[in-house]
Amino acid sequence: MSLETTRQLKHDTPDHDRRLDGMAQGVLGTDMDRPEGPLKVSGRATYAAESRPEGMAHGYLVRAATIGRITGSNAEAIRAMPGVLHVLEDERMIRNAAQGMAGQSPVQKQGQSWYVGQPVACVVAETFEQARHAAQAMMVTIEPDGTHVFDAEAEGAEIDTPEKKQVSQGDLDSAMAQAAFSIDHDYHTPSMSSAAMEPHASIAQWDDEGRVTLRGSYQLLRFNKNELADVLGVAPDKVRILSPYVGGGFGSKLGLAPEAVAAALAAQALGRPVRVVLHRRQVFETVTRRSETKQRIRLACDADGKLTGIGHENLVSQLPGEVFSEPVAQGTHFQYAAPNRVVGHNIARIRRSAAGSVRAPGEAVGVTAFEIAVDELAKSAGIDPLEFRLRNVPDKHPENGKPFSSSTMEATLREGARRFGWQHSQPRQRREGEWWIGTGMAGAVRVNMMIEAHARVVLTGTGARVECDMTDIGTGSYAILTQVAAEMLGFAPAQVETVLGDTDLPPASGSGGSFGAASTSTAVYLACMELRERLAAKIGVKETELTLKDGVATHENRQTPLAEVLGDEEWRALGHLKPGRAGREVRQATWGAIFAEVAVSDVTGETRVRRMDGTFAAGRILNLKTARSQCHGGMIWGIGLALTEALEHDPRDGHMVNRDLAEYHLPVNLDVPQLGVHFIEERDDWANPLQAKGIGELSICGAGAAVVNAIENACGVRVRRLPATLDQVMEGLIAQG
Amino acid sequence: MRAFDYIRAGDTAQAVREGAGQETRFIAGGTNLLDLMKLEVMAPERIVDITRLDLGGIEETQDGGLRIGALVTNSDLAADARVRRGWPVLSRALLAGASGQLRNKATTGGNLLQRTRCYYFYDRGEPCNKREPGSGCAAMGGTNRILAILGTSEHCIATHPSDMAVAMRALGARVEVEGQDGTREIALDAFYRLPADTPHIETVLAPGELITAVILPAPAGGRQIYRKVRDRSSYAFALVSVAAVVEVENGRIAKAQLAFGGLGPMPWRDAKVEKALVGEAPSPALFDRAADILLAEARGHGGNDFKIPLTRRTLAAVLSQATEAAA
Ligand SMILES: Cc1cc2nc3c(=O)[nH]c(=O)nc-3n(C[C@H](O)[C@H](O)[C@H](O)COP(=O)(O)OP(=O)(O)OC[C@H]3O[C@@H](n4cnc5c(N)ncnc54)[C@H](O)[C@@H]3O)c2cc1C
Ligand code: SF4
């Protein structure tokens, strides 16, 4: 018997029941290993490029070397090259990857090269080597279509200033004029890449019924399915996407990317499976990057260090025709209180490759620059930067007066400072040989989001199975969904199987915006609640009186094995979460505090991070190990943002110059000290019935500022253009004499 | 990658014979050549695999020096006890290069002949005189943070990226090569060529000439330092590096052998700098004068202007460390 019943929650009100605290299995919140870990470390987890359907051909993308109208190519000659099966020049090829949650086709090629590096063709051959060689020989003729701008700050850049993204409250100018202390500086962050370890790859295969199956590496399958259907002009039910394992996404795999479209079109044209794998250099160019930003930050405070004015006016870049723009001030709206406020958002339409969401869009760069500015103001006010922040903790949303669902800003600051042994000090006080030693700190904040999610749970007498199209992008989805079901239904984790990454399963949230764990876990929770109700009804008790542990139901001192209750039956339940008023009536956010100690060479300006410690509050922690790993990762990203990472764009045509991992400098092991991560356990009832919030992005939102502030404390050099490369620091040292 | 013929050389005579063919390259560790072939920056028609040749091993020479076989890996050379004792600057330079995995594959001969890391050299969409003679140089007026300030020409401003070769040049190494006309030795000082108007020709090797060994003179003694300044703590090429062998006697500098990485199209050594130091008492003013001489002709191209002050400061720090205790 397999009757499927549904439990839906429209999340309008806080959930004070905290049912998870009353469950008995005791697996949630532990540091349980990932169930799929052994498959991954032994090479048995099949990533996108690794399946081998029979008859598979290989495609390789061809890039545009200039901008303009595409007028022809040497496709004829390419078709004659050894092994070449097909030269795809389809107008449906996409210009750039879809934006996260677009659910529809991004801008398509339509005879146009918009930026240097745009994929404009795909050569398909019997072997990968033949395809690559032929693709490198392919020449696409492009007629220039006028002059273009490649730098957001250059003269002639077309600037959009969307009205609803501007905020003005009170009178910032007079607050600045009357302030006891104020600062007004421009901060710059560079263009950056997600640089996920697994390059994008897709294998497409059509069946006789005109249905395409795409094995790809994607984060948001239910959206990606619609995107691919829209590009191809077929109904969504003609598309199936499989992404059981994703080797890192960080936003770069939110939206359908050019390789998937090329694989699907080529497979259709050839009537055989086609694989397209991006070369690392192509990953940099064709996948959305994080926009560079210019941030003008004005801050004013009174003699006691109470903020009276906040200005955060930003310039980001984007290709024409893209809806997304880096939401730099997302955290600024509510992180600190001040009566006079200006937020400005400007988008320069320039011809660099498309910008998109990269881990913690908005706060990663916005909070980082803002927390450097706060440090500058605290310094000019002569107040310990920790104390300065504590004096400015908001008690409600400063712009709209809504309450916070929970506010742990103060708690994380205090606990973080205690753990680190924070002591305020003047710059240039500590020296070891040629190295200046200093400490810095920053607050971290990230909005908390939830989106619609479905999940199915199938219960048998001996275990359970979780099924949905959720993805695990290395974050631990398999682990936490297994834990939620095991906890709710009273099974050891080994008795719960979690099946993910298939659009034929119920549509979950996908992974992005840190909403994945909370949204999809809630759907699993709801399905489990439904099953608990059915169990209780069958046994004849109230659900709240039912204890499930180790496969046995305990109720009024009686014990009934589930095997007895279910017999041979398989019970299926669907959980369905719909976001509601609970997400709008309050400001939900996660908070943290990050502390760093650095050494700066007085000779070269090189910076070494010696110590870094983060304290975070993000609701209920579902798995200690995967949560900690997320925070480690975010702090390492912070080091990259502060010290090493920058995509260089050629000033003459905007193309990415350093598009490989040798010259795009991610932090390496030696750049990263032992990292401390600590959680303040919290129950945010507004978040969802699990009281859990997103954790995947929080720690990057400020970590870089702690490092940059520490550089100033060490050697007195203030860097406002990230990353703080040695040449900038050295020039500052020279200027100091 | 263009399809190529693969020839496995059984002995050096065969390697040299095959190597002299049209569009032919030797392959050793392959860590540089294969990357470039995949991108078709280099597209040889024939590959002569030299890894089965008897070019391994490190032997002591009669005059107390070392003969390092061309196939000795960077890892093995760095770890060799004799090298660490007598030529520590070489060991340190090697360990400052690439990553553990790469050093396990990279060979002594291949390291000397690795190509520049100029971004535009790697990009077939861009003009580059080194890759395609006569096409222009995109690095000028482009992004040139990592490129050269010394020895450049209007045709090319690329650097030679090796760390190992910098230490070898400071040590006065010689390169032993075998060609169709026999064996010869070339001082490393005379091994590389300035770009002038032929930046695609990087060394004095004739087509098919095979590096068989590198010969180090007897230990130079003194204090040996390799300091590499780069954009992250490890696994990045040098923005500036200094290999120094310095000896102080009776308060005066008795020996100064200095070579620099990241500055020029070859590991850079300037006899005038060394001459200015020898016989003098170490002092900040002296180090500054040495830097003046070294950098007299230095020219930045915008993005790499900072290398000029960085070199000055790094050189001063290295010299002061090298002369410290004795001063
Ligand atoms: C990501 C990355 C980072 C790196 N970082 C550094 C660094 O920080 N510092 C550094 O110094 N190096 C660095 N390297 C470069 C590395 O040291 C070189 O790739 C390596 O030394 C080349 O040696 P190989 O044996 O692999 O050469 P191959 O790739 O096999 O050959 C290189 C060239 O030498 C020729 N050749 C090889 N052997 C001989 C011979 N015996 N006679 C004549 N010709 C020969 C080949 O024909 C070819 O043209 C890095 C490389 C990579 C990929
Ligand atoms: S600097 Fe040399 S290698 Fe670089 S683009 Fe110019 S010619 Fe080519």
In a domain, residue B145? The reply is: no
Distance from C-alpha of B151 to C-alpha of B268, rounded to nearest angstrom: 9
CA–CA gap between residue A312 and residue A45 (Å, rounded): 45
Backbone angles phi, psi at A67, to 5 degrees: -110, 140
Structure tokens at A625: 């190990």
Could you list the mean pLDDT of each consecutive 10-residue stretch along chain A, which spans 737 residues?
A: 87 97 97 97 96 97 98 98 98 97 95 98 98 98 97 97 97 98 98 97 98 98 98 98 97 98 98 98 96 98 98 98 97 97 98 98 98 98 98 96 96 98 96 98 97 98 98 97 98 98 98 94 98 97 97 94 96 98 96 98 98 98 97 98 98 97 97 98 96 96 97 98 98 95
- The residue nearest atom 18 of ligand 1, judged by CA position, is B111
Q: Which of A603, A658, A727 sits opposite B314 (nearest CB)?
A: A603
User: How far apart, in whole angstroms, are the C-alpha atoms of residue B49 and residue B28?
Assistant: 6
pLDDT at B327: 43
Quote the pLDDT of residue B1. Answer: 87
Whether A726 sits inside 8 A of B310 (CB atoms) is yes
Q: Do B316 and A660 touch (CB under 8 A)?
A: no
> Relative to the alpha carbon of B239, which ligand is closest?
1
How many alpha carbons lie under 13 Å from residue A210 in its C-beta half-sphere?
7
* Residue B98 in domain: no
Report whether residue B150 contacts ligand 2, using a CB cutoff of 6 Å. Answer: no
ipTM of predicted complex: 0.97
Beta carbons within 8 Å of B299's beta carbon, 6+ residues apart: B149, B150, B152
pLDDT at residue A675 in the model: 98
Q: H or E segment at A18?
A: none
Pick from A657, A663, A734: CB nearest B142: A657
Question: Strands A435-447 and A558-561, how do they pair?
Answer: unpaired
Domain ranges of chain A: 4-30+450-584, 54-146+197-248+253-286, 293-448+588-735
Which pLDDT value is given to residue A2? 64
Q: Is A648 a catalytic residue?
A: no
CA distance A655 to A650: 5
Domain membership flag for residue B247: yes
Pick the CATH number of A293-448+588-735 from 3.40.50.300, 3.20.20.70, 3.30.365.10, 3.90.650.10: 3.30.365.10
Domain A4-30+450-584 sits in CATH 3.20.20.70: no
Strand partners, B214: B68, B175
User: Read out DSSP for B175-233?
Assistant: EEEEETTEEEEEEGGGTB---TT-TT--BSPPTT-EEEEEEEPSP--SEEEEEEE-SSS
Closest CA to A93 of A256, A246, A226, A332: A256
> Is B310's CB within 8 Å of A665's CB?
no
Closest among A418, A409, A367 to A389, alpha carbons compared: A409
Structural domain containing residue B20: 5-51
Full pLDDT tens readout for chain B, 327 residues: 899 999 999 999 999 999 999 999 999 999 999 999 999 999 999 999 999 999 999 999 999 999 999 999 999 999 999 999 999 999 999 999 999 999 999 999 999 999 999 999 999 999 999 999 999 999 999 999 999 999 999 999 999 999 999 999 999 999 999 999 999 999 999 999 999 999 999 999 999 999 999 999 999 999 999 999 999 999 999 999 999 999 999 999 999 999 999 999 999 999 999 999 999 999 999 999 999 999 999 999 999 999 999 999 999 999 999 999 744
Q: Which residue has the CA at smallest separation from atom 2 of ligand 2?
A: B156
Q: What is the pLDDT of residue A550?
A: 98
Q: How many domains does chain B have?
A: 2
CA nearest ligand 2 atom 6, residue: B137
**CATH classification for the domain delimited by A54-146+197-248+253-286, as one of 3.30.365.10, 3.40.50.300, 3.40.50.2000, 3.65.10.10:** 3.30.365.10
- The answer for residues whose C-beta is within 8 angstroms of residue A735's C-beta and 6 or more apart is none
CATH number at residue B44: 3.30.43.10
Per the domain annotation, does B133 fall within a domain?
no
The A-side interface with B (CB below 8 A) comprises 63, 65, 82, 116, 129, 132-133, 136, 281, 434, 603-604, 606, 608, 643-644, 648, 650-652, 655, 657-658, 660, 662-663, 665, 667-671, 725-727, 730-731, 734
Q: What is the CATH number of the domain that holds B278?
A: 3.30.390.50
For residue B132, being part of any structural domain is answered with no
Residue B169 falls inside a structural domain: no
Measured between CB atoms, which of B1, B123, B143 is closest to A132? B1
B202 is a domain residue: no
Residue B147, burial from CB neighbour count under 10 angstroms (0-12, 13-18, 19+) = buried
Single-letter code of the amino acid located at A14: P
Domains A4-30+450-584 and A293-448+588-735 share a fold: yes
**Residue B158 near ligand 2, beta carbon < 6 Å:** yes
Q: What is the pTM of this model?
A: 0.98
- Rounded Cα distance between B288 and B276, Å, is 11
Residue numbers in B near A730 (CB within 8 A): 306, 309-310, 313
Work out the number of other CB atoms within 10 angstroms of the CB of residue A169.
16
Please give the distance of CA A216 from its chain centroid, rounded to a whole number. Answer: 18
Q: Which of A621, A95, A124, A50 is nearest to A354 (CA)?
A: A95
- The Cα–Cα gap between B277 and B267 comes to 20
Q: CA of A66: which chain B residue's CA is closest?
A: B125
